[in-house]
C-alpha cells in the first residue's frame, strides 16, 4: 500500500487498470430509468485523486484487486458493502417504481452464481450511517435460471452487457436508502469457504407516496459458510439451486441431538423435535420483477444529491409474522442459551396457524 501511494496518479490508474483485466469485477455505476440518468459509482483509484470525486457508490478503497469477500468474513462488516466500505458522499434521486441499471466491469462467464439485491432504510442521512446497523430487506433475487445450460443470474448479467436491472418497490416509504447489490460466484464453492461474494452498495434518495417500512436484518447475519447455496458444487450434475440469504423465513437451528448445531442461521423450516424456527422477512412482498435486457440509452449524467430530509412516515400495520420477529431473541452465543431461546420462541411460533410449513 505504501508503494502504491508513492506512485504518480496517472501511473497508478494504469496499474489498477492492468490489475482489473486479470481480476473479477466491480459495480461501477448506476443508471436510473425512465430518465436514463447516469450516476458514477466508486473506483478504488479515486482515493488518490485530489480531491476525490463525490459519487453515489460506497467507497471500497481496500478492494484494489477487484477481489471478493470470503465466507470466513461473513460475520465481519466487510460483507455489508465490500472490503473496508464507507458510505457514499451523495445519493441518486429516484422515484419508487423506477428501474435501476447497475453497470459492471466485464464479469467472467465462468463465475456463475446468484444475483441478489437488497434495500435498507438509513433512517436519516446515509452519509453518516453505521453500516453494521443497516437492516436489509430483499427486493430481487435470481439464482439458477436453466439447469441444462448452467445459466445463473450472473450469466444473465454477463450476457446483458455486464449490467443488471432491479426495480424499486412502489409502496416503500420515501427516504434515504442503501441499495446492496451482490453476485455470489460459485466456481470454487464446492469446497468450504470457496464461495466468493461481491457486494457493492449505492446510496439512493427515494421519493414516493408509499408507507411500507419492510423489516430486515443486518448483512452480517445473511450467510453461513455451509449454507445450501454457499457451499455448492457448480460442476456436479445439479438440477436445482437454493439461493442463500434472507429467504422466505429463517430458522435458528438447535439440533440438540446429539449436539447443538454451531452453524448459525439456516433457511429451512424443519418442524421436528430437533429444530425450532423464528420468522424473518422474505423476498419482500412488494418486490417487482424486471426482465434482464438493456433498459435504454443514457440521456444525462448527474452527480447525485445530499439526500432527502427526514420524513415522518406512518408505518404500515405490522403483520402477525413480523410481530414474531420483533419479539424473537437474538441468536445466543452459548449452547444452553441457544436452546433456551429456541424453546421460548417455538412456543410463540407454534401458536400461529399461518406459520409457513415446508421448504
**Structure confidence at residue 288 (pLDDT):** 80
**Structure confidence at residue 65 (pLDDT):** 76
**Structure confidence at residue 135 (pLDDT):** 96
**Structure confidence at residue 309 (pLDDT):** 59
Look at the pTM and tell me if it is higher than 0.75: no
Q: How confident is the model at residue 316 (pLDDT cuts 50, 70, 90)?
A: very low
d(CA 158, CA 292): 11
Give a yes or no: residue 7 inside a domain: no
Give a yes or no: residue 9 inside a domain: no
d(CA 343, CA 277): 10
Higher pLDDT among residues 335 and 296, named by residue: 296
pLDDT in tens, 163-210: 999 999 999 999 999 999 999 999 998 899 999 999 999 999 999 999
**Structure confidence at residue 285 (pLDDT):** 77
**Structure confidence at residue 68 (pLDDT):** 92
**Structure confidence at residue 200 (pLDDT):** 95
Do 90 and 237 fall within a single domain?
A: yes
Give a yes or no: residue 119 inside a domain: yes
pLDDT in tens, 140-167: 999 999 999 999 999 999 999 999 999 9
**Structure confidence at residue 23 (pLDDT):** 52
Q: Which of 186-195, 222-231, 295-304, 345-354 has the lowest mean pLDDT?
A: 345-354
Give a yes or no: residue 11 inside a domain: no
Percentage of the chain lying above the pLDDT 90 cut:
54
**Count of structural domains within the chain:** 2
Give a yes or no: residue 347 inside a domain: yes
Tell me the mean pLDDT in the region 298-315. Answer: 65
Give a yes or no: residue 3 inside a domain: no
Whether the CB-CB separation of 80 and 132 falls below 8 Å is answered with: yes
Q: How confident is the model at residue 327 (pLDDT cuts 50, 70, 90)?
A: very low
Higher pLDDT among residues 166 and 286, named by residue: 166
- DSSP string of 266-330? E-----BTTB--B----S-TT-B----S------EEE--BS-PPP---PPPPPPHHHHHHHHSPP
Do 262 and 291 fall within a single domain?
A: no
Give a yes or no: residue 12 inside a domain: no
d(CA 352, CA 324): 9
Strands 37-40 and 300-302, how do they pair?
parallel
Tell me the mean pLDDT in the region 51-76. Answer: 90
Do 166 and 109 fall within a single domain?
A: yes
The boundaries of the domain holding residue 332 are: 248-280+317-359
Do 239 and 124 fall within a single domain?
A: yes
Residue position matching grid coordinates 418497490:
169
Do 180 and 158 fall within a single domain?
A: yes
Residues 6+ apart with CB under 8 A from 344: 329
Q: Which of 3-7, 100-104, 165-169, 252-256 has the lowest mean pLDDT?
A: 252-256
Do 187 and 258 fall within a single domain?
A: no
**Structure confidence at residue 4 (pLDDT):** 42
Do 237 and 294 fall within a single domain?
A: yes
Residue position matching grid coordinates 408507507:
211
Tell me the mean pLDDT in the region 10-28. Answer: 52
Residue position matching grid coordinates 400495520:
317
Strands 144-146 and 151-152, how do they pair?
antiparallel
Instruction: Work out the mean pLDDT of the chain and round it to a whole number.
Output: 75
Do 207 and 142 fall within a single domain?
A: yes
Q: How confident is the model at residue 282 (pLDDT cuts 50, 70, 90)?
A: low
Give a yes or no: residue 13 inside a domain: no
Beta strands (DSSP E) in 106-171 are: 115-121, 136-142, 144-146, 151-152, 163-167
Residues 6+ apart with CB under 8 A from 342: 252, 254, 276
Q: Which of 51-60, 72-81, 206-215, 273-282 has the lowest mean pLDDT?
A: 273-282
What region, left, alpha or beta, does residue 72 occupy, with left being phi > 0 and alpha being psi -120 to 50 degrees?
alpha
Do 129 and 274 fall within a single domain?
A: no
Amino acid at each position: 500500500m505504501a508503494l502504491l501511494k508513492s506512485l504518480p496518479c496517472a501511473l497508478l490508474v494504469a496499474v489498477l487498470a492492468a490489475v482489473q483485466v486479470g481480476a473479477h469485477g466491480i459495480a461501477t455505476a448506476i443508471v436510473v430509468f425512465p430518465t436514463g440518468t447516469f450516476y458514477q459509482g466508486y473506483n478504488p483509484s479515486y482515493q488518490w485523486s485530489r480531491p476525490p470525486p463525490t459519487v453515489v457508490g460506497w467507497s471500497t478503497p481496500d478492494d484494489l484487486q477487484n477481489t471478493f469477500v470470503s465466507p470466513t468474513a461473513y460475520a465481519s462488516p466487510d460483507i455489508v458493502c465490500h472490503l473496508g466500505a464507507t458510505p457514499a458522499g451523495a445519493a441518486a434521486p429516484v422515484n419508487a417504481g423506477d428501474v435501476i441499471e447497475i453497470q459492471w466491469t466485464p464479469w467472467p462467464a465462468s463465475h456463475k452464481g446468484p444475483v441478489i439485491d437488497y434495500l435498507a432504510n438509513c433512517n436519516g442521512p446515509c452519509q453518516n450511517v453505521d453500516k453494521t446497523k443497516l437492516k436489509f430487506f430483499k427486493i430481487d433475487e435470481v439464482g439458477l435460471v436453466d439447469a441444462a445450460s448452467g445459466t445463473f443470474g450472473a450469466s444473465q448479467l454477463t450476457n446483458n452487457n455486464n449490467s443488471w436491472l432491479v426495480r424499486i418497490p412502489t409502496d416503500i416509504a420515501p427516504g434515504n436508502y442503501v441499495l446492496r447489490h451482490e453476485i455470489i460466484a460459485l466456481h470454487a464453492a464446492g469446497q468450504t469457504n470457496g464461495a466468493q461474494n461481491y457486494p457493492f452498495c449505492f446510496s439512493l434518495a427515494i421519493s414516493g407516496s408509499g408507507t411500507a417500512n419492510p423489516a430486515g436484518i443486518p448483512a452480517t447475519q445473511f450467510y453461513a459458510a455451509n449454507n445450501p447455496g454457499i457451499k455448492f458444487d457448480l460442476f456436479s450434475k445439479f438440477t436445482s439451486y437454493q439461493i442463500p440469504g434472507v429467504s422466505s423465513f429463517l430458522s435458528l437451528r438447535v439440533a440438540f441431538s446429539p449436539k447443538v448445531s454451531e452453524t448459525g442461521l439456516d433457511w429451512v423450516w424443519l418442524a421436528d423435535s430437533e429444530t425450532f424456527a423464528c420468522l424473518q422477512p422474505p423476498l419482500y412482498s412488494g418486490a417487482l420483477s424486471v426482465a434482464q435486457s438493456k433498459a435504454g440509452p443514457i440521456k444525462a449524467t448527474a452527480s447525485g444529491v445530499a439526500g432527502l430530509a427526514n420524513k415522518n412516515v406512518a408505518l404500515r400495520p405490522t403483520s402477525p409474522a413480523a410481530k414474531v420477529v420483533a419479539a424473537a431473541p437474538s441468536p445466543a452465543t452459548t449452547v444452553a442459551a441457544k436452546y433456551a431461546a429456541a424453546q421460548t420462541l417455538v412456543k410463540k411460533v407454534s401458536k400461529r396457524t399461518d406459520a409457513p410449513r415446508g421448504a
